[in-house]
Amino acid sequence: MKPREESLDAFIDTLPFIDTHSHAAGYEWGTPVDDRQGRSLPQILVHDYLAYVSSSCVDFSLTPPPPRSTWSPEDAPEQFRHILPLLETCRGLTLYQVLRDGIRELYPFEDEDITAENWEGIHRAILAAYQTHGERALHRLACRKAGIIRQTHMCFLPYVVDHWDALPEAERQAQRDLLMPSLILDGFLFSGFAANRAARERSLDLLGLRPATHADHLDFCRRALDLFIERGGVSAKLLAGYVRPLEMDEVSDRDAGAFYSTGPEKLHPSDLRRLQDNLLAHLLEMCRTRNLPLIVHAGYSVPTAWADPEHLHPLFCSQRLKGLKVDICHTGWPNHGAAMIMARTYRTCYFNLCGTSSFSGDLGLRLLSEALDMIPMNKILLGTDCGTPESLLGTARLIRRQLAHVLSAKLAAGQVGPVAARNIARALLHDNAAEFYGLRPSS
């Protein structure tokens, strides 16, 4: 008798997953060396996306009081009472679903949700786990449960120098075995959030440099990239779409030199943007010559036009950047159609669904299905895009369920056969990311 074939769902559940987008290993700077101080349930609930969306609630009292980083587990009862109204407004969100499901798997509880009646027991289990394992080990545990064997981590240069050097050797090696650091470039462009400026200043200290000219600054960028690669970095990340349009103009080194000599912080915004355009062109060329793929935050911004993937066409038409691999992340949503067309048009352009699954379960299903209809399977990437072990685990489970659901539907419709469905699943969860990052088969 012919053995019963393993179901597609079961097959997908066993596939190794290379997570192409995450912040869960200590965000941009890293975790404290002593990472067993403990976290509370309220901290976990608002550490990730729920804090981000809380400001849109009608009642501003629902916004978690800053700074959340100073919250103490001892204050958990007051903290939970404060955020409970926020939870009530967000229980229908996919973002909350994956976080709750990840909490349930790591710290089992039987009730259907986290409530005023059961929160304290869940809180005690979370606090004990963080105090026993530490943040880094708990993150690695969540990755193992999720079948994640490698993970792209967005960080600053000090992450792979100050943070990793401070860790005990065994702990540092465990992090390196899992993480694939991606260097946030925005600080080198005098752009982005306050943390980007702090990272640039610390990077200057690490390299012992104080650029006085445009040429000096470019030398700083080269040395920073080289040190990042030497310390294990594998890609670069551009966040500019959050704060300005991704559209870039060609600006001569002569003009950029004049802008730089004025002082980047003193420039009019229009002149600063031109300096940024010049510096970014140089940085991307440096990435190309060093075989560093580029991850571009696209789509999700206010206004969304700033991060429209359409702005990225010049990257694929430039002779200076020929061969630079570009990951258009978050599907470019709500301008995902443009991102799909680019991925099927340009060999070095990839369509990444990271974050989309947890933005909206229905959106994730639809865009995954459309991507498989439109884009060759080797051009599609997946990632969790989470900041905590709990949301990471819940999101990874959701990604696998969505992939099984979409492929089963296409299998039932006769669009693909069983072999093709399994090959697609393996490509999206593992093989495409391995090719994008140039990983050896054993990685």
Q: What is the pLDDT of residue 304?
A: 93
Q: How far apart are CA 43 and CA 62, in angstroms?
A: 15
Query: Do residues 356 and 330 touch, judged by C-beta distance below 8 A?
Result: yes
Query: Do residues 299 and 327 touch, judged by C-beta distance below 8 A?
Result: no
Report the chain's mean pLDDT, rounded to a whole number: 94
Q: What is the pLDDT of residue 4?
A: 46
61 has a pLDDT exceeding 70:
no
Q: What is the pLDDT of residue 48?
A: 74
Q: Which two tokens stand for residue 91?
A: 């229980």
Q: Which tens digit of pLDDT belongs to each residue from 289-302?
A: 999 999 999 998 88
69 has a pLDDT exceeding 80:
no
313 has a pLDDT exceeding 90:
yes
The count of other CB atoms within 10 Å of the CB of residue 67 is 7
DSSP conformation class of 151: E
65 has a pLDDT exceeding 90:
no
Q: Which residue has the tokens 């997570």?
A: 19
Q: Which tens digit of pLDDT belongs to each residue from 277-291?
A: 999 999 999 999 999
Q: Which tens digit of pLDDT belongs to each residue from 112-143?
A: 999 999 999 999 999 999 999 999 999 999 99
Q: What is the pLDDT of residue 380?
A: 98
**Residue 406 carries which side chain, given as an amino acid letter?**
V
Q: How far apart are CA 194 and CA 186, in angstroms?
A: 11
Q: Which residues contact 210 (CB under 8 A, 6 or more apart)?
A: 204
Q: Which tens digit of pLDDT belongs to each residue from 191-221?
A: 988 899 999 999 999 999 999 999 999 999 9
Of all residues in the chain, the percent with pLDDT exceeding 90 is 86
**Residue 55 carries which side chain, given as an amino acid letter?**
S
Q: How far apart are CA 256 and CA 376, in angstroms?
A: 40
442 has a pLDDT exceeding 60:
no
